[in-house]
């Protein structure tokens, strides 16, 4: 663990958790997988452990991430899906050779074809993106209400009215800003 690297914001949906490794795309962007080693760390906490990653594999991962972001954003606003993004998602999905394994405890685990096969892990992420963009899962793609974020997230709330992306960091930031603005307007109320 190195404190110099930004931490991860893990959501419950693999594909949008992955797109969240670049945050504040419309503000001061934060790259959370700046090195191959950080992608290895992210894959480990996401149930897709590999032992190593090359710079070329990190490039593939980032290309997939931005393709998922583009396609999920289009799907959220009901635009036509961008063809180059769809191509990248399909290529990564087709290249992966991970197998779903049922554990004795009845949990699903992913088994990669080899421990250095980042491509297998990317295949799992691409397939996850396909399932949410295709509308196969219970939920709805939406865009975060924060103007500096605009991340695509998968809203599984019953009312489908969630406004903020995963982990609510954007929502919390907004609430805090409003709180401070109110304090400034009416300093007496803070006493
Ligand atoms: Zn957000």
Whether pLDDT at 105 is above 90: yes
* pLDDT band at 43; cut points 50, 70, 90: very high
- Mean pLDDT on 70-97: 97
d(CA 87, ligand 1 centre) in Å? 26
d(CA 127, ligand 1 centre) in Å? 23
pLDDT one-digit tens code per residue, 46-78:
999 999 999 999 999 999 999 999 999 999 999
pLDDT one-digit tens code per residue, 135-166:
999 999 999 999 999 999 999 999 999 999 97
d(CA 45, ligand 1 centre) in Å? 21
d(CA 23, ligand 1 centre) in Å? 8
Q: What is the pLDDT of residue 186?
A: 57
- Mean pLDDT on 35-52: 96
Q: What is the pLDDT of residue 174?
A: 65
- Mean pLDDT on 168-176: 71
Q: Where are the domains of the chain?
A: 14-139
d(CA 103, ligand 1 centre) in Å? 34
d(CA 71, ligand 1 centre) in Å? 17
Q: Let me know the angle formed at the C-alpha of 148 by 144 and 150, rounded to the nearest 5 degrees.
A: 25
Range among 21-30, 85-94, 153-162, 164-173 with highest mean pLDDT value: 85-94
Contact 150, 86 (CB under 8 A): no
d(CA 14, ligand 1 centre) in Å? 16
d(CA 145, ligand 1 centre) in Å? 7
pTM of the model: 0.89
d(CA 70, ligand 1 centre) in Å? 15
Residue 113 phi/psi, 5-degree rounding, is: -70, -30
Longest CA–CA separation in the chain, Å: 64
Mean pLDDT of the chain: 90
């Amino acid at each position: 663990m190195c404190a110099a690297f930004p931490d991860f914001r893990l959501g419950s949906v693999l594909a949008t958790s992955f797109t969240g490794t670049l945050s504040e795309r419309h503000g001061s962007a934060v790259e959370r997988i700046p090195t191959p080693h950080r992608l290895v760390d992210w894959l480990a906490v996401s149930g897709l452990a590999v032992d190593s990653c090359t710079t070329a594999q990190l490039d593939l991962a980032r290309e997939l991430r931005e393709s998922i972001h583009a396609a999920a954003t289009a799907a959220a606003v009901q635009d036509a899906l961008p063809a180059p993004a769809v191509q990248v998602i399909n290529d990564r999905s087709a290249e992966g050779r991970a197998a779903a394994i049922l554990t004795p405890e009845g949990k699903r685990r992913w088994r990669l074809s080899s421990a250095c096969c980042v491509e297998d892990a990317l295949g799992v992420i691409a397939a996850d993106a396909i399932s949410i963009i295709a509308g196969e899962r219970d939920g709805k793609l939406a865009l975060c209400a924060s103007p500096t974020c605009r991340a695509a997230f998968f809203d599984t709330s019953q009312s489908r009215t969630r406004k903020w992306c995963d982990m609510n960091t954007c929502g919390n930031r907004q609430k805090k800003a409003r709180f401070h603005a109110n304090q400034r307007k009416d300093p007496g109320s803070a006493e």
